[in-house]
Amino acid sequence: MRVVGSQEYLQALLEAIRPGMEEVLAFYDHRVGVIGTDPKLMLMPWDDHLVHRGDGVFESLKYVGRKLYQLDAHLRRMRLSCQAIHLEPPCSWAELREAVIEVARAGNQPDGCIRVLLGRGPGSFGINPYESPVSSMYLVAYRLHMRPESAFEKGVTAMRTTIPAKQAWMATVKTTNYLPNVLMKREAVNGHADFPFCFDASGFLAESATENVALVDEAGRLVIPEFTNALAGTTLMRAVDLIKNDMSVIFKGVTEDEILNAREVMMLGTSFDAIGVVRYEGRPIHDARPGPVTKRLRELLQADLQQTGLVF
């Protein structure tokens, strides 16, 4: 291998293979201080503890028709995640909020997603958090791939993963350490299922890889698995707010038998709002069709985005 100087290295870097470039719309590194649009330059320092230790937190939100959805709700949760791991952003929270809007605007597309990453920052390859003098902040706007309407009419499938739910103190913090989630998704793909379900040590349903699960029980109540070993999703909690006056909503431990006996099972997540699970472990849920509550929640969330989304 040749040893080269800065210019030759930069040239080689620009010529290197970079999968997924077509997905990136715009990005921002707080250290650099400007917004970029060439994905080949979207890089993180190797010694950022975010990279080699998973020492950081993140949020993902979407925008549709140039309307950012639940920006403040995502930032509130991010602040709680930061408090849990004793991390502060390298700027004020007001500046971070404005940066999200500016990156979305720079992406120059009506629809997309924003990923916000806060890390311990560069400084060493050790594990001591105090070796990083300044925290890091990275923002990226990327394309939003919406599911076709036929997917919501047909519904999706789910399976039980062998990966256990995270420990309670980790599950409730949205950290960048997502290895269990990755392994769950791998099992689902290999098992030809759309979503994996993980369970805690007591056999209660926790969550999916990046989404929350909810069900409608035989009494017609919307049942949410307790957040003991799961992250409280912004989409889920907003859905609860929107429908709580129309039906009973309870939070409780949910067993596998309750999944199979439910009237409806649904996934709730940022990118698709709500979608019905029609088969679990190959067995049909109720009549194996998306149910009315799932459809209603999706309608409410879509309308809410149009009414409350932040225009940029």
Measure the CA–CA gap between 225 and 172, rounded to whole angstroms: 13
- Report the pLDDT value the prediction gives residue 256, as an integer from 0 to 100: 98
Mean pLDDT of the chain: 97
Mean pLDDT of 72-76: 98
Contact 90, 136 (CB under 8 A): yes
Mean pLDDT of 75-100: 98
- Report the pLDDT value the prediction gives residue 146, as an integer from 0 to 100: 94
pLDDT bin (cut points 50, 70, 90) of residue 194 is very high
Mean pLDDT of 82-92: 98
Q: Which domains does the chain have, with CATH numbers?
A: 6-142 (3.30.470.10), 149-311 (3.20.10.10)
- Report the pLDDT value the prediction gives residue 306, as an integer from 0 to 100: 98
- Report the pLDDT value the prediction gives residue 166, as an integer from 0 to 100: 96
- Report the pLDDT value the prediction gives residue 30, as an integer from 0 to 100: 98
N-terminal to C-terminal alpha carbon distance within the chain: 47
Query: Which tens digits make up the pLDDT trace of 125-157?
Result: 999 999 999 999 999 999 999 999 999 999 999
- pTM of the predicted protein model: 0.95
- Report the pLDDT value the prediction gives residue 144, as an integer from 0 to 100: 98
Measure the CA–CA gap between 267 and 245, rounded to whole angstroms: 21
Query: Which tens digits make up the pLDDT trace of 256-286?
Result: 999 999 999 999 999 999 999 999 999 999 9
Query: Which tens digits make up the pLDDT trace of 29-66?
Result: 999 999 999 999 999 999 999 999 999 999 999 999 99
